[in-house]
Amino acid sequence: MKLHYDITVRPKMRMINKIVKNKKKYSRKFLERNIDYGYINCLLNMKFPDNPCYCTKSEILCEIFETQQMGKGVRTRKSLPAGTEIGCYYGNIVPSNTISKTNYYSFYYILRGFAIDGSVNQGMMSFMNHAEEPNVSTFFKFHWIENNPEIHLTFFTNKDVEIGEELFINYGEEFWEGHIEKINYNFYYG
C-alpha cells in the first residue's frame, strides 16, 4: 500500500523536498501559504534522508482484531519498546474541503489544504482506536516510494507496549467536533 494522489499534487510533493533540502531559501510567509500551519515546525526540523528508508511492514508487528466495545482495533504481535515505528497511514491525498467532518478515516496532511483520506485504501493503521492517553504518536517522516521520497504520516509507540496490548492514538478535538454534529443531526432528523 501507499499514498495515492492526483498528478496535480506531485509538484507540491517535490516542493516539500526542496524546502527540506534548503530551508533557508524559503520565507515564513511562503511556508504559511503552502504548508499546514500546525506542521511548519515539523517540516523545518525534518532532515532529508541520506539513505532510502521504507515504511514498516505493520503486519509483522501488529494485527487487526475485534474489540469488545469498539469494533476493530490494532494490537501488538510482540512487545515493543517506546519509539518503535509500527506503520504508516495510507490513503488518497485529497483537498481537505472535499472530506466531510464526519469522515472517520481522514488526517490532515503536511500540505496546506490537503488531507489523507484512508476510507478507500485502508491500511492497518486506519483501524486504530482513540484514547485520551494513547500509547502511539504520529509524526511525518520521509519514506522512499518507487525511488522518490515522500512524507508519510508514521505511527510510533510512545511508551513500552506489551505483546497483545491494543494500540491507541488520540484522534484530536476536530474529529470529535465533527462527530458531535453528526450525532445531533441523527438525533433530530435520523
Residue located via cell numbers 532532515 = 47
Residue located via cell numbers 472535499 = 98
Average pLDDT, stretch 156-177? 86
Digit-coded pLDDT (tens) for 11-48: 998 899 999 999 999 999 999 999 998 899 999 899 88
Distance between CA atoms of residues 110 and 13, nearest Å:
10
Domain contains 37: no
Digit-coded pLDDT (tens) for 118-144: 887 778 998 999 999 999 999 999 998
Backbone phi and psi for residue 168, each to the nearest 5 degrees, phi listed first? -135, 150
**CATH code of residue 150:** 2.170.270.10
- Cα dihedral 14, 20, 24, 27, rounded to 10, equals 60
The reported pTM is 0.83
Average pLDDT, stretch 58-75? 92
Backbone phi and psi for residue 179, each to the nearest 5 degrees, phi listed first? -80, -30
The total of structural domains in the chain comes to: 1
Digit-coded pLDDT (tens) for 74-111: 999 999 999 999 999 988 999 988 887 667 778 889 99
Domain membership of residue 112 as a residue range:
4-22+45-189
Q: Minimal CA–CA distance to 167: which of 84, 99, 51, 53?
A: 84
Average pLDDT, stretch 66-70? 87
Task: Give pLDDT, residue 7.
Answer: 87
Q: Are 148 and 71 in contact (CB under 8 A)?
A: no
Domain contains 178: yes
